[in-house]
């Protein structure tokens, strides 16, 4: 088997990289693919919490690289989904504990075991990021519609462009979109961000309080049926598998009496 | 009065002066400079120098010279517009 290694990155911290990694991982696993989530945020381990697997971590990525255990021993299998595994980051080390060569080798090995290897990159553009992308052939760039996040995403895209030979494609996930604020012209919308970054869109995830609830429960929203953010992540997973999935209609821009009358006679799918 | 605002609201595109439009304009400008690694103020110096060169060859219509730094995909283009009155040669 030769799986796909996809790095999930953003530049800026706090835009939802880890949340996206967990949710896309769960959604991909739900489509039947075998998935390994790799937490590359060494020293600031969080992916295990989002997955609800924090109590089951025994070994970590650094243990594997430094050959204190076998790769299979470090993988934490999700009991809810046997085809989903997590390779946790070390919490007591820092980003210098792994280098790009070691990461490449690790990704090669994981690729032979899983359909998808999702690498959750740390924030920043330094060694941690460079290591995270070392073994990847594809990238998902996460941003929110805020100026600072978009600027950092642009920097990341520039760095990915420079590695074109290795990273053959990258696409954008616009996270935490607030349709109402966009409709009121209070913040940039999907079109604005795409135009500014000139990048292909993989998905749009609306701001959703359910994300916080699901994090507290340790059950990513994409595993449950009834949330908009969960649906958005499931759509992203389907697009990653090559399916053509129309983008969710998050537009409330045209809420006027004219459109209400039109919609009354011609109800649209949300 | 909110209901009245809503009643008279016409479907429109982006309105100039809103936070969204301001953010987009600032972003465009900032990213163009970021991508070119262009220090602030340098472009203005270049524009002055370019104008001076053209002005050696032509009389220029006053206050019509325009420079536009545009993004086409992820590449930048500097577009200069001089309105020429007559040759000085």
Q: Does residue B30 sit at the A interface (CB-CB below 8 Å)?
A: yes
Q: Are residues A254 and B20, on separate chains, in Cβ contact within 8 Å?
A: no
Q: How many domains does chain B have?
A: 1
Contact state of A258 with B74 under an 8 Å Cβ cutoff: no
Query: Is B6 part of any domain?
Result: no
Q: Which of A139-148, B13-22, B73-82 has the highest mean pLDDT?
A: A139-148
Residue A263, pLDDT > 80, answer: no
The Cα B42–Cα B38 span in angstroms is 7
pLDDT reading at A66 higher than 50: yes
Decide if B33 is inside a domain. Answer: yes
Q: Which residues of A201-235 are buried (b: 16+ CB within 10 A; e: fewer)?
A: bbbbbbbbeebeebbeeebbbbbeeebbbbbbbbb
- ipTM metric: 0.80
Domain holding B68, by residue range, is 17-87
For B11, nearest residue in chain A (alpha carbons): A254
A192 touches chain B (CB under 8 A): yes
Nearest CB to B10 within list A150, A189, A256: A256
- Residue B80 maps to a domain: yes
Residue spans per domain, chain A: 4-265
pLDDT of residue B39: 87
Mean predicted confidence (pLDDT) in A129-138: 97
Chain B residues lying within 8 Å of A158, measured CB to CB: 35
Mean pLDDT of B37-61: 93
Structural domain includes residue B4 = no
The architecture in CATH of the region A4-265 reads: 3-Layer(aba) Sandwich (3.40)
Contact A198 B30 (CB under 8 A): no
d(CA A91, CA A270): 42
Segment (H or E) for A115: none
Nearest CA to B6 among A183, A256, A260? Answer: A256
Q: Residue B35: inside a domain, yes or no?
A: yes
- How far apart, in whole angstroms, are the C-alpha atoms of residue A19 and residue A120? 10
In a domain? residue B10: no
Dihedral angle at the C-alpha atoms of A68, A70, A75, A77, nearest 10 degrees? -130
Whether B7 maps to a domain, the answer reads no
Tens of pLDDT along A139-176? 999 999 999 999 999 999 999 999 999 999 999 999 99
Residue A196 near chain B (CB below 8 Å): yes
The distance of A199 to chain B (nearest Cα, Å) reads 9
Q: What is the pLDDT of residue A268?
A: 45
Cβ neighbours of residue A31 closer than 8 Å, sequence gap 6 or more: A237, A238, A241
Nearest CA in chain B to A149: B27
Mark yes or no for CB contact A198/B10 under 8 Å: no
Contact A259 B31 (CB under 8 A): no
Q: What pLDDT does residue A254 have?
A: 57
Does A51 have pLDDT greater than 80?
A: yes
Contact B40, B67 (CB under 8 A): no
**Residue closest to A54 by CA, chosen among A97, A14, A86, A7:** A86
Chain center to CA of A120: 7
Bridge pairing between strands B84-87 and B58-60:
antiparallel
Bridge partners, residue A77, by sequence? A85
Q: What is the distance in angstroms between the Cα of B18 and the nearest Cα belonging to chain A?
A: 6
Q: Which of the 8 DSSP states describes residue A129? A: H
Contact A256 B6 (CB under 8 A): yes
pLDDT band at A130 (very low <50, low <70, confident <90, very high): very high
Distance, in Å, from the CA atom of A75 to the CA atom of B62, rounded to the nearest integer, reads 71
A95 pLDDT band (50/70/90 cuts)? confident
Q: What mean pLDDT is predicted for residues A228-255?
A: 87
């Amino acid at each position: 088997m030769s799986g796909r290694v996809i790095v999930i990155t953003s530049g800026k911290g706090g835009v939802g990289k880890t949340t996206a990694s967990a949710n896309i991982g769960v959604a991909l696993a739900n489509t039947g693919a075998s998935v390994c989530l790799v937490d590359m945020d060494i020293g600031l381990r969080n992916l295990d919490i989002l997955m609800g697997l924090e109590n089951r971590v025994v070994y970590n990525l650094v243990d594997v690289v430094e050959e204190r255990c076998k790769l299979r021993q470090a993988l934490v299998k999700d009991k809810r989904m046997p085809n989903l595994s997590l390779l946790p980051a070390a919490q007591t080390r820092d980003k210098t504990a792994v280098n790009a060569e070691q990461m490449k080798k690790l990704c090669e090995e994981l690729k032979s075991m899983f359909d998808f290897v999702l690498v959750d990159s740390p924030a920043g553009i330094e060694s941690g990021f460079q290591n995270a992308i070392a073994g990847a052939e594809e990238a998902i760039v996460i941003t929110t519609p805020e100026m600072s996040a978009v600027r950092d995403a642009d920097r990341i895209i520039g760095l990915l462009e420079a590695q074109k030979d290795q990273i053959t494609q990258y696409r954008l996930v616009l996270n935490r979109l607030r349709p109402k604020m966009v409709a009121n012209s209070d913040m940039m919308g999907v079109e604005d961000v795409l135009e500014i970054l000139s990048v292909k869109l993989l998905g749009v995830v609306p701001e959703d309080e359910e994300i916080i609830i699901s994090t507290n429960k340790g059950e990513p929203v994409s595993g449950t049926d009834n949330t908009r953010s969960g649906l958005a992540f499931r759509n992203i997973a389907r697009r990653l598998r090559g399916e053509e999935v129309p983008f969710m209609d998050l537009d409330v821009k045209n809420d006027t009496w004219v459109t209400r009358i039109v919609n009354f006679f011609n109800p649209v799918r949300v | 009065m909110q209901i009245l605002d809503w009643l008279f609201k016409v479907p429109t595109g982006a309105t100039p002066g809103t936070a969204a439009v301001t953010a987009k304009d600032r972003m465009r400008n900032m990213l163009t400079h970021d991508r070119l690694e262009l220090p602030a103020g340098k472009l203005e110096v270049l524009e002055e120098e370019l104008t001076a060169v053209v002005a050696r060859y032509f009389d220029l219509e006053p206050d019509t010279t325009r420079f536009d730094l545009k993004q086409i995909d992820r590449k930048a283009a500097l577009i200069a517009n001089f309105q020429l009155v007559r040759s000085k040669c």
